[in-house]
Amino acid sequence: MNPTYRAYVDGSWIAGRIGYGAVILDAQDQVLAQFSGPVPEDYAAGTRQVAGELVATGQVVRWCEQQGIAELHLYFDYLGIQQWATGGWKAKLDLTRRYRAFMQQTPVRLYFHKVKAHSGDYWNEYADQLAKQGASQARPA
């Protein structure tokens, strides 16, 4: 039986600075990896924290591919994470088109779970703090 892996992702926009954050957990809630960093404004193309959400998700999926993880439960508070990946929303920007293409080619089977933002979900709040930390490292727009 495969262990269950979960990841929480988030993006942040603070005063013109964008960041991403993510944490990956095993079935026992042990942190396997976490990511945090800035997103350049030119990459974000005016999408504010949305770019951080997508970068965080990409980091998680790449990590899973590298680790040979076949299935992942992905938790997020921004619906675009799921909708662009599954084709539920039309990807109109270069950023969202690249995200969709990447997500549709990954061998990792993803189970999407929407959580309410700032509702006290511990790991979602943790990812939010990582995203804010990433935004604090970004250059202002």
Structure confidence by residue, pLDDT tens digits, 58-70: 999 999 999 999 9
| Residue 24, helix vs strand vs coil | strand
Q: What is the pLDDT of residue 2?
A: 57
What pTM was computed for the model? 0.93
What would the pLDDT profile of 97-119 be if each residue is shown by its tens digit? 999 999 999 999 999 999 998 88
- Yes or no: say if 30 and 7 are a contact pair by the CB < 8 Å rule: no
Pair 93, 141: CB distance under 8 Å: no
1 has pLDDT over 60: no
pLDDT tens digits, 9-30: 999 999 989 999 999 999 999 9
CA distance 109 to 7: 13
Q: At 3, is the pLDDT very low, low, confident or very high (cuts 50, 70, 90)?
A: low
The domains located in the chain, with CATH, are 6-137 (3.30.420.10)
